[in-house]
A and B are shown apart, each in its own frame.
Chain A
Amino acid sequence: MNDFIAARSQMALSLGFHIVFSCIGMVMPFFMAVAHYYWLTTHNVVYRNVTKAWSKGVAIFFATGAVSGTVLSFELGLLWPEFMKHAGPIFGMPFSLEGTAFFIEAIALGFFLYGWERFNPWFHWFTGVIVGVSGLASGILVVAANAWMNSPAGFDFVNGQYLNIDPIAAMFNRAWFSQALHMTIAAFAATGFAVAGIHALMILRGQHIAFHTRSFKIAAIFGCVAALVQPLSGDISAKDVATRQPAKLAAMEAHFETEKSASLIVGGIPDEEAREVKYALRLPGFLSFLAHGNFEAEVTGLDRIAKENHPPVAITHYAFQTMVGMGMIMMGIAAVYLLALFKHKKWLTKSWLFKLFALATPLGFIAVEAGWTVTEVGRQPWIIYNVMRTADAVTPMPGIAYSFYLFTAVYVSLALFVIFMLYRQIKMVGKLYDEEGESFR
């Protein structure tokens, strides 16, 4: 493994790891706030227990999210010093505001986790909401920084010099809104489905039904609403990408030849040498419609883009198909669940419904990882689109492969630990949180 590939893999691994924890860190506080609200208004202890049980899980996720985030802020320099030397002062604005958001989040979390029985109940509830709001703010800010890499703004690039820097304009670059919107909804969809899925599984096992049905419902409603609107925001993103990064769109769609009324390709195996896609389903005109809102419009293909600026087509294409596929399944499940809630109440107790959710547990996070692969791999070979190449940004330090192996080992063991811990948390629900169970304490 050469150092450049190792550096990219390490970055991808660290981000792919962090994003799971950060999604949970920004969304779970809202679930808890709802459960907590029901506890304060109805005094039904089950809700207090749900809130407490969730907050234990969240504490574990938070700590892991915080340390992996700390690692990231160093890795930007450890792996991409040349990039940070120039980009730091330009796209640093969201990071400096993010510092504040993190800090408030960490403080509010201290109040929330350790504040039971210490504060006025509504003040305590409010600190939980603040955890969520500042988490969302930090997610949006960090995505604005990433959007700048896709759509650089706020400076003039003259003869290799970065002049007339304007950090505010850099933050509000053209991609920030569509990306931040899509990411925020994705976090709700992914976390909602994951949490609902786990509780659905426990319901199917017939354990602590009162506890798990209430938790299930809160998570499922959040997840389903998000899953229903996600494809709409994905459409905004796709139209945005089509105008700002035609190479990325072409790679997502494995669209080799520029054409009018281009067809949308579903599935298939792209062959970059022969410039064709085998075994694919084609929907004529639909790509033009998706990219430009018009069935006749011309869509730029990879033929219009210099060979050395092509992103890896196959990975981007598969990742995009995966994300959209997951999105469609989740939207379907969401539609069924909302129908059940409003029209067919009897479905709500059927085991097939819970089976559906249990099977869908990982889908949202698979889509999140796939979506980031589209964004990042689809930007290659650029680290700052059309300004700096990734290969020019990498650290001169040799032996990055070893660092990559080391971090892989650490993250794999950490992931196993978190899963183990979560498993134990769930196993203990009966002992700690279920009044009806005989061993409640």
Chain B
Amino acid sequence: MLYVVITFLWASILLYLLLGGADFGAGILELFTSRKNKAITRKTLYAAIGPIWEANHMWLIIAIVILFVGFPLIYATMSVNLHIPLTIMLLGIIARGTAFTFRHYDAVKDDTQSLYNTIFVYSSFTTPFFLGIIAGSAVSGHIDPNARDFLSAYIFSWLHWFSAAVGLFTVSICGFLASVYLIGEADSDEERLRFAHKAQFFNIAAVICGILVFAAAYFEKIPLIDWVFGNWVGRLAILFATLSLVWMWSLLYRGQIGLLRILAGFQVTMILLTTTYRHFPNIVILRGGGYLSLLEHSGHEKTIEALGMALLLGSVLILPALIYLIYSFQQKPLDAEHY
């Protein structure tokens, strides 16, 4: 059952990265859109993510609940030493979720709209940036639970080049996912072309940020190269990711939407796989070589049993409904005469 729970944890992190990421990316995209195209981008974006944005962000809650129920020591350690980036991320989540809803539901459309827009785009950038910082810090070996002074316990646990680079990488991945997703939602060829350009832009940005991540890892003596290339799963995943990247670029302007989306999602999945596979089951690497392991630091057996059952039950209920939701909003509306 422990492996069932771990699979759910991994899957919800992946789904949050894919769906929540595309959602953040939509805001990032808006930030990088020229002023004259902003309004139309905004409209497409709303039509695409409006009905599902709440559901997209539930994956984060699921991951957190799995962590605090199943792996309390890991949750507690991260909460203490990464207090500051977590708080900033939370402020980002508050700002983004409310600004997104307010700008649509405000009954009067006036100058406040530009305030909502500003809050929305900047928090769409900040939130995944800090998510990346948190993920990067977890494996960076900078967290020191025994640190006594403020700076090393609460600041240097997350403030370093490696995690900053992971943050930027996360941001560009989000932008990339959103652009690819939105190609299929655009109304006009012109807009479609614009999203395709953006997808290229963010893809290049992701490659550059990826190089930065490796460089930072090298300087901070984090054995990232070994994690990624030191085993056949990592090497194979990187190979697949690269192949699918080439394939995707060749398709970008041909409008095979479904395939494009699958390829983009596949690439991100491969990236998450390589970076987590090698140091499974350790998800937090501590200063001095210690670690927190999903296998050794899990909760009591009965808890894991119950949690696993709850998750299985939940997925039986949720998945069909979620798939139907996404499917329905891909269809054209019914005739208005129903009402």
Q: Chain A contacts of B153 at CB under 8 A?
A: 397
Per the bound structure, the CA–CA distance linking A395 and B78 in Å amounts to 12
- How many Å from the CB of A422 to the closest CB on chain B? 9
Asked if A279 is an interface residue, CB under 8 A from chain B, the answer is no
- Size of A's binding interface in residues, CB under 8 A: 72
Q: Which residue of A lies closest to B56 (CB)?
A: A106
Q: Is the CB of B107 within 8 A of A88?
A: no
- How many Å from the CB of B264 to the closest CB on chain A? 23
Q: Is the CB of B68 within 8 A of A410?
A: no
Instruction: Give the segment of B177-185, B200-208, B228-236, B327-335 that binds chain A.
Output: B327-335
The residue that B94 contacts in the complex, of A114, A395, A414, with Cβ under 8 A, is: A414
A window 59-92: CB within 8 A of B: 59-60, 62-64, 66-71, 73-78, 81-82, 84-86, 88-90, 92
Instruction: Give the segment of B187-195, B218-226, B302-310 that binds chain A.
Output: B302-310
Q: Mark B57-87, 1 if CB is under 8 A from A, else 0.
A: 1101110111011101101111110010011
Q: Chain B contacts of A401 at CB under 8 A?
A: none
Per the bound structure, the CA–CA distance linking A93 and B336 in Å amounts to 44
Asked if B40 is an interface residue, CB under 8 A from chain A, the answer is no
Per the bound structure, the CA–CA distance linking A69 and B60 in Å amounts to 12
Q: Chain A contacts of B64 at CB under 8 A?
A: 73-74
The residue that A63 contacts in the complex, of B101, B322, B325, with Cβ under 8 A, is: B101
Asked if A298 is an interface residue, CB under 8 A from chain B, the answer is no
A74-B64, A89-B299 are known contacts. Are A118 and B87 too (CB-CB below 8 A)? Answer: no
Instruction: Give the segment of A162-170, A237-245, A373-381 that binds chain B.
Output: A162-170
Q: A68-B94, A96-B66 are in contact. List 11 more A-B contacts (CB 8 A).
A: A60-B101, A78-B86, A86-B72, A96-B306, A98-B65, A104-B321, A117-B334, A120-B338, A167-B306, A410-B91, A428-B107
Asked if B11 is an interface residue, CB under 8 A from chain A, the answer is no
Q: Mark A112-150, 1 if CB is under 8 A from B, else 0.
A: 011111111100000000000000000000000000000
Per the bound structure, the CA–CA distance linking A168 and B300 in Å amounts to 13
Q: Chain B contacts of A103 at CB under 8 A?
A: 55, 58, 62, 314, 318, 322
What is the interface of chain B mostly: helix, strand, loop, or mixed? helix
Per the bound structure, the CA–CA distance linking A85 and B153 in Å amounts to 19
Per the bound structure, the CA–CA distance linking A81 and B81 in Å amounts to 11
Q: Is the CB of A93 within 8 A of B90?
A: no
Asked if A258 is an interface residue, CB under 8 A from chain B, the answer is no
The residue that B69 contacts in the complex, of A67, A78, A88, A118, with Cβ under 8 A, is: A88
Q: Is the CB of A100 within 8 A of B98?
A: no
- How many Å from the CB of A332 to the closest CB on chain B? 35
Q: Is the CB of A66 within 8 A of B57?
A: yes
Q: Is the CB of B80 within 8 A of A104?
A: no
